[in-house]
């Protein structure tokens, strides 16, 4: 990274953090994409991305907790299952081509899911998939650690 690239990358990270934090997310996928485009060594990418994600999510978690919007008992189960596997995913060595394919695929899949309309539940009732979320926490946590996205 030469010249203005670090400054532009820092600005892009700041904008990402502000936008994602305003809605309670961390921005891990965007950090990963920006770092991949910047040419950072792919082995460092998940570490940097997840570290930034943790900082932003911590701030959002405190803010949402103060307003009573976080169901801590349910969140604790998901974190207890997902966080250790995320750590293991981050320790798993993979080749650069595999890493970039997984990262690119996850970003495309995420973008496609944003095109699917969301049906709001009446009165905030849990969706029919809510009971399966703890089962999804471990594999999603592992994948999130592997490619450096937040998994949110």
Q: What is the pLDDT of residues 112-141, one digit of tens each?
A: 888 888 776 655 666 777 778 888 899 999
Residue-range domain boundaries for the chain: 5-116+126-147
Q: What is the pLDDT of residues 53-103, one digit of tens each?
A: 888 888 888 888 888 877 888 888 888 998 899 889 988 999 999 999 998
Q: What is the biggest distance separating any 2 CA atoms in the chain, rounded to whole angstroms?
A: 53
Mean of pLDDT values over 30-43: 87
pLDDT of amino acid 152? 54
Residue 1 has pLDDT above 50, yes or no: no
DSSP for the chain, written as a single string: --TTHHHHHHHHHHHHHHHHHTTT---HHHHHHHHHHHT--TTTHHHHHHHHHHHHHHHHHHHHHHTT---HHHHHHHHHHHHHHHHHHHH----HHHHHHHHHHHHHHHHHHTTSPPPPPGGGPPPTTGGGHHHHHHHHHHHHHHHT----
């Amino acid at each position: 990274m030469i010249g203005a690239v670090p400054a532009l990358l820092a600005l892009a990270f700041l904008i990402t953090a502000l936008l994602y934090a305003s809605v309670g997310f961390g921005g891990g996928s965007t950090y990963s994409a920006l770092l991949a485009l910047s040419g950072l060594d792919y082995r460092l990418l998940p570490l940097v991305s997840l570290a930034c994600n943790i900082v932003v999510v911590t701030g959002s978690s405190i803010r949402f907790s103060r307003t009573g919007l976080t169901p801590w008992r349910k969140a604790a189960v998901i974190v207890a299952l997902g966080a250790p596997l995320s750590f293991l995913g981050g320790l798993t060595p993979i080749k650069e081509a595999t890493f970039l394919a997984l990262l690119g695929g996850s970003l495309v899949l995420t973008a496609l899911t944003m095109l699917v309309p969301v049906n709001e539940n009446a009165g905030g009732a849990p969706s029919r998939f809510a009971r399966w979320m703890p089962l999804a926490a471990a594999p999603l946590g592992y994948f999130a650690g592997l490619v450096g996205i937040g998994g949110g």
